[in-house]
Amino acid sequence: DGGITQSPKYLFRKEGQNVTLSCEQNLNHDAMYWYRQDPGQGLRLIYYSQIVNDFQKGDIAEGYSVSREKKESFPLTVTSAQKNPTAFYLCASSIAGQVAAEAFFGQGTRLTVV
Amino acid sequence: AQKVTQAQTEISVVEKEDVTLDCVYETRDTTYYLFWYKQPPSGELVFLIRRNSFDEQNEISGRYSWNFQKSTSSFNFTITASQVVDSAVYFCALRNDWNTGNQFYFGTGTSLTVIP
């Protein structure tokens, strides 16, 4: 079945550690997105990519980094510079260049700092 | 600037009641799409409907209906005869050609609880 797979589902990070969240899709989508969800704040865009080897910062990119070496994969690294990383992270993909196309979402990764 | 406002943070209704979730948007673009998503407790957002800016026809799908009014920049979602399975967070989103990233602009969501 086509879809987006995020792993792990739950992740615990110690202070000062970098952690990487995985996002893989087999929908052949060019566009991929990372969102952060906090209670009462909806979805905030961290980074997005419209094509392999290219990505742009979203609204809250500080303390995060991404790579897009393959069309199928868009991993997100939460660095130690992110002061409040505890949140629910959602990865999405969509057809690029078609404003009518909906986004498909993964099941999310819940990151907790311990 | 693009913005989506969902003023209702939380709504509780008793099963079988009708409920309307409000969505108001802002955009300078003339071509745009509006979306509704459902986020059940499992966390994954599920696509419900899209509507383009040139089509103001209301749409009905089973117990769900959507009312799009450009005059008030609103795209409201009504659930008729609500059920416990409708309990979720619902997001309204906007997408347009104005920015090169074709970003989705999401509202803050409305948490719906249907009480049995």
pLDDT digits (tens, 9 = 90+) for A6-15: 999 999 988 8
Q: Per-residue confidence at B98, pLDDT binned at 50, 70, 90?
A: low
Please, are residues A48 and A29 in contact by the beta-carbon 8 Å criterion? no
pLDDT band at residue B100 under the 50/70/90 scheme: low
Residue A61, SS3? coil
Q: Write down the mean pLDDT value for chain B.
A: 92
Separation in Å, CA of A65 to nearest CA in chain B: 18
What is the per-residue pLDDT for B105?
92
Please determine, for residue B10, whether its predicted confidence score (pLDDT) is greater than 70: yes
Instruction: Give the per-residue pLDDT at A46.
Output: 96
State residue A1's pLDDT score: 66
Model pLDDT, residue B99: 60
CA angle B111, A91, A96 (to 5 degrees): 110
Q: Which tens digits make up the pLDDT trace of B50-89?
A: 999 998 888 888 999 999 999 999 999 999 999 999 999 9
| Plot region of B64 (φ>0 → left; ψ -120 to 50 → alpha; else → beta) | beta
Share of chain B above pLDDT 70, in %: 97
Q: Which residue of A has its CA nearest to B102?
A: A99
* Closest chain A residue by Cα to residue B108: A42
Q: Is the pLDDT of residue B47 over 80?
A: yes
DSSP alpha helix (H) spans, chain A: none
Residues 14-43 of A with CB under 8 A from B: 31, 33, 35, 40-43
Given B33, B45, B93, which is nearest A100 (Cβ)?
Answer: B33
Q: What is the pLDDT of residue B116?
A: 96
User: Residues B5-9: what's their mean pLDDT?
Assistant: 96
Residues in chain A closer than 8 A to B89 (CB atoms): none
Long-range contacts of A60-64 (CB under 8 A, 24+ apart): A60/A36, A64/A34
Does the beta-carbon distance from B97 to A99 stay under 8 Å? yes
- Tell me the residues of B at the A interface, defined by beta carbons under 8 Å apart: 6, 9, 31-33, 35, 37, 42-47, 50, 52, 91, 93, 95-97, 100-104, 106-109
pLDDT higher than 80, residue B21: yes
Residues with Cβ < 8 Å from B100, sequence gap 6 or more?
A50
Residue ranges of chain A whose pLDDT lies below 70: 1
